[in-house]
Structure formats: structure tokens, C-alpha cells
């Protein structure tokens, strides 16, 4: 058998560990070959590939990013390129394609699968917002990095009796903010799932200083936004790939808070540092198990499925189910979070 692999969407710690695991499983358990397509779907559209044998994936377990590269392609171009991609796969004798990606890449994988291309998907995203799997690799690494950095902000904030707002990633889902906020003892955490009430935030800041607390740490997901009409808030529109452009919610909320509370506020945007560098041991193991089970599923004839973590087991779920909706933070988890607000 010959397996094709590609990585799509934003890079994520653990992608290389999946690639290594697919290659090693295919080679050592089945004597199969693997070919990597470069820069996501673009590699299939432009026929750019590289053979992947066991030697080629040596050292990849701990390496962040993706050695195959990743790129975005406008969905319309992808739809129009379906036959081109199919021809590329045929030319290279690929029996099963294993796309590793987020909800966008997996939506495209589902479309290919519906069009008859044999596909076994692997979910990746630091945002942890893919449905059908309890967790995605990259999330634990991103939370660990964010937690470490927020820990460091406590001392500088208390030294100056300041409010520090930390903006973390999370386009549609507040999982990183929720976990890093809880882990680092933030006084306030704002997520995209629940528009925030600026009056409540002003009250929290005022009350903390009034009762003698030294500082305020607020964690703000990049996709968080205020209730309509509460403060001036710039919208950034969408980019050519249909993604919302962010305009710096922490900075804008910070300016509003300074004006209304008279306290000094600083905003820190963690940005891409959250997805750079080596994956945590948890993510290395999850990525390795995903790669192993994707290769097994490919050889056992499963198609149109995605590997998923359910409890402690790796299962298969239909791609159709995985991409039907995003996995956002449920109300029950938000209630838990609110118990630690203030
Ligand atoms: N609705 C869609 N239909 C077809 N292709 C899509 C769709 N959404 C995304 N894609 C393809 O998948 C790529 C990666 O998606 P993106 O959302 O950027 O990253 P991720 O896979 O991490 O969610 C896009 O550049 C595009 O080529
Ligand atoms: O690196 P880019 O293209 O600016 O994308 C940033 C986005 O990618 C992410 O890091 C991960 O999102 P995906 O997993 O959907 O690619 C988001 O948290 C963030 O909003
Ligand atoms: Mg996406």
C-alpha cells in the first residue's frame, strides 16, 4: 500500500510526531510506503511531494512545526482543483490519503472523501475545537506555554498594582483561555463563547483594588468580544480565506478599563509563541497514537473517517460528524470558570 500524507492549516506542535508515526507504522508493520505532499492542499494541486521513509522521519518526534510545510488555499480554488488533486494522487499511486489538519483541512478532506477519494483524517489544532475527539494534540503544549507566561505576569503586575490583560489564541473557542486561566489563577477569563459585559469587568477591577488586592490578571481569548453597544470595538472583517481578522481585543478592552477605572492597564499578546517549539510529552504521545491508528485504519480499509481520542482510547469517527460543528466550551465549563472569577 502507498499512503499520502499532508499537513494543512496553522502549524501545531505534534504534527511531525504524527508524520513519523504514520511512516514507522506503515513501514515496520505493513511494509508499506509513504509519500508526503508539501504545503497542505497546495502540494496536491501543484504536484509537489517527497518520499518519506523511516530514515527521513528520524528525529521528528520532538520537533515542533511541520517538515512538510503548511499553506492555505482559498476553498473555491480547492473545489475547482478536485480533479487535479485526484490526478496527482493517481500519478503517485496513492491508495489512501491521510490529511492532518484542523476543521478547515478536515472539511476539505470530507469533500474529497465524498468525491470518492480514500481518506483517513487526523485532527490537529492548538485551539482544541474539533468535534468528535476529546482532545487534539498541540492544545496541551499551547496551554503549558501560556500558563508559564501568565505565571510570570503575576509578579510584575503586583509590583506596579496594575491590570494585565493577556491575549491568548482561540479563534472561535476559548479552550486555551479556559485552561490557561484556571491553571495560572487568572482573576478574569474572557472567551468567544460568551460576549463579555464591560460593566462587569470594570466592577471586578474596582472591587479587587478597593479590597486591597495588589493586581488583576485577565486572560482574553483573541476571539472574545464585548456585548453589543458597550464599548467602541473595531471589527477587522475577513481575510481571503474567510477567517475573521482580529483587531486586538485585549488592547481595546485595556484602553476602556484605564479610562473607566483610573488604574494602569497593560495588554500582552502571546501570539505564535503559543504554537512554536517542542510538544509536551502528552502531545507527543497523543500525536504518536493518532499516527499509529491512522496508519492501521488505512490498512484495515476504513475510509471517510478521522482518528479521535475518546476517554483514553483512540477511536474512529466519521469525518462528516467531525466537521458538522465546532467543539466550543460548554456552559457547564463556563460555570466552573466563573467560580474562580474575581
Ligand atoms: N469549507 C471549506 N471547503 C473546502 N476547503 C476548505 C474549507 N475550509 C478550509 N478549506 C481548506 O483547508 C485549508 C486549511 O483550513 P484552515 O481553516 O486555514 O486551517 P485548519 O485546517 O487548521 O482549520 C484552507 O486553506 C482551505 O484550502
Ligand atoms: O498563524 P495564522 O495564520 O495567523 O493563524 C492564527 C490562528 O491559528 C491558530 O493558531 C490555530 O487555528 P487552526 O488550528 O484552525 O489553524 C488559531 O489559534 C489562530 O487564530
Ligand atoms: Mg481552521
Mean pLDDT of 120-146: 98
For residue 267, what is its C-alpha cell?
Answer: 495588554
Mean pLDDT of 272-292: 98
CA 111 to centroid of chain Cα atoms: 21
The number of folded domains in the chain is: 2
- Please say if 127 is a catalytic residue: yes
Q: Which residue has the higher pLDDT, 240 or 204?
A: 204
From 127, 129, 140, 283, the catalytic residue: 127
Rounded to the nearest angstrom, the distance between the alpha carbon of 157 and the centre of ligand 3 is: 34
Mark whether 179 and 88 lie in a shared domain: no
Mark whether 188 and 77 lie in a shared domain: no
In this model, does residue 226 exceed pLDDT 90? Answer: yes
pLDDT band at 240 (very low <50, low <70, confident <90, very high): confident
Among candidates 136, 140, 12, which has minimal Cα distance to 64?
A: 12
335: which residues sit within 8 A by CB, 6+ positions away? Answer: none
Query: Which of 275, 309, 333 is at the close of a domain?
Result: 275
In this model, does residue 241 exceed pLDDT 90? Answer: no
Whether residue 339 lies inside any domain: the answer is no
Whether residue 340 lies inside any domain: the answer is no
Q: What is the pLDDT of residue 285?
A: 98
Whether residue 115 lies inside any domain: the answer is yes
Q: What is the pLDDT of residue 259?
A: 98
Mark whether 235 and 283 lie in a shared domain: no
Q: What is the domain-level CATH number for residue 262?
A: 3.40.50.460
At 95-126, the pLDDT tens digits run: 999 999 999 999 999 999 999 999 999 999 99
Whether residue 334 lies inside any domain: the answer is no
Mean pLDDT of 295-309: 98
Mark whether 201 and 284 lie in a shared domain: no
Alpha helices in the chain (DSSP H): 15-30, 41-45, 75-80, 82-91, 103-114, 139-159, 175-183, 198-210, 249-261, 281-299, 319-322, 331-338
Residues forming beta bridges with residue 103, ordered by sequence position = none
Mark whether 8 and 120 lie in a shared domain: yes
At 45-56, the pLDDT tens digits run: 999 999 999 999
Mark whether 156 and 253 lie in a shared domain: yes
Q: What is the pLDDT of residue 139?
A: 98
Closest ligand by atom to 13 CA: 2
Query: Which of 218, 246, 275 is at the close of a domain?
Result: 275
DSSP 238: B
pLDDT band at 242 (very low <50, low <70, confident <90, very high): confident
Mark whether 159 and 230 lie in a shared domain: yes
Mean pLDDT of 225-239: 94
Whether residue 337 lies inside any domain: the answer is no
Binding-site annotation, residues: 10, 72-73, 102-105, 125-127, 162, 169-171, 222, 266, 272-275
- The rounded distance, in Å, linking the Cα atoms of 194 and 274 is 23
Whether residue 100 lies inside any domain: the answer is yes
Query: Which of 245, 275, 305 is at the close of a domain?
Result: 275
178: domain range? 140-275
Whether residue 182 lies inside any domain: the answer is yes
CB-defined site of ligand 1, < 6 Å: 8-10, 41, 72-73, 75, 78, 101-105, 107-108, 111, 125, 241
Binding-site annotation, residues for substrate: 125-127, 162, 169-171, 222, 266, 272-275
Q: Which 3 state secondary structure label does DSSP give 37?
A: strand
Mark whether 190 and 318 lie in a shared domain: no
Whether residue 175 lies inside any domain: the answer is yes
Mark whether 222 and 244 lie in a shared domain: yes
Mark whether 109 and 58 lie in a shared domain: yes
Q: What is the pLDDT of residue 291?
A: 99
Q: What is the domain-level CATH number for residue 80?
A: 3.40.50.450
In this model, does residue 29 exceed pLDDT 90? Answer: yes
Mark whether 297 and 212 lie in a shared domain: no
Mark whether 226 and 156 lie in a shared domain: yes
Amino acid at each position: 500500500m502507498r499512503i499520502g500524507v499532508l499537513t494543512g492549516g496553522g502549524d501545531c506542535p505534534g504534527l511531525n510526531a504524527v508524520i513519523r508515526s504514520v511512516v514507522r507504522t506503515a513501514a515496520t508493520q505493513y511494509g508499506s510506503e509513504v509519500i508526503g505532499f508539501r504545503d497542505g492542499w497546495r502540494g496536491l494541486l501543484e504536484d509537489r511531494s517527497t518520499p518519506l521513509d523511516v530514515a527521513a522521519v528520524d528525529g521528528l518526534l520532538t520537533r515542533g512545526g511541520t517538515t512538510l510545510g503548511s499553506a492555505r488555499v482559498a476553498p473555491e480554488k480547492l473545489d475547482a482543483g478536485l480533479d487535479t488533486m485526484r490526478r496527482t494522487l493517481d500519478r503517485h499511486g496513492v491508495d489512501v490519503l491521510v490529511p492532518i489538519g484542523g476543521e478547515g483541512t478536515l472539511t476539505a478532506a470530507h469533500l474529497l472523501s465524498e468525491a470518492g477519494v480514500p481518506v483517513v483524517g487526523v485532527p490537529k489544532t492548538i485551539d482544541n475545537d474539533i468535534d468528535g475527539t476529546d482532545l487534539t494534540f498541540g492544545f496541551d503544549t499551547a496551554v503549558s506555554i501560556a500558563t508559564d507566561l501568565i505565571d510570570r505576569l503575576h509578579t510584575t503586575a503586583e509590583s506596579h498594582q496594575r491590570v494585565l490583560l493577556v491575549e491568548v489564541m482561540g479563534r472561535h473557542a476559548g479552550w486555551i483561555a479556559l485552561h490557561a486561566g484556571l491553571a495560572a489563577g487568572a482573576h478574569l477569563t474572557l472567551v468567544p463563547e460568551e460576549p463579555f459585559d464591560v460593566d462587569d469587568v470594570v466592577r471586578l477591577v474596582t472591587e479587587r483594588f478597593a479590597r486591597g488586592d495588589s493586581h488583576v490578571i485577565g486572560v482574553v481569548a483573541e476571539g472574545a468580544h464585548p456585548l453589543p453597544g458597550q464599548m467602541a470595538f473595531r471589527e477587522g472583517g475577513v481575510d481571503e480565506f474567510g477567517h475573521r481578522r482580529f483587531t486586538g481585543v485585549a488592547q481595546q478592552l485595556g484602553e476602556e478599563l484605564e479610562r473607566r477605572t483610573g488604574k494602569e492597564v497593560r495588554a500582552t499578546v502571546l501570539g505564535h509563541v503559543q504554537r512554536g517549539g517542542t510538544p509536551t510529552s502528552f502531545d507527543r504521545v497523543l500525536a504518536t497514537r493518532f499516527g499509529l491508528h491512522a496508519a492501521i485504519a488505512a490498512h484495515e480499509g476504513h475510509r471517510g473517517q478521522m482518528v479521535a481520542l475518546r476517554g483514553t482510547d483512540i477511536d474512529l469517527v466519521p469525518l462528516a460528524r467531525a466537521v458538522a460543528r465546532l467543539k466550543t466550551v460548554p456552559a457547564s465549563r463556563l460555570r466552573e470558570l466563573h467560580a474562580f472569577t474575581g
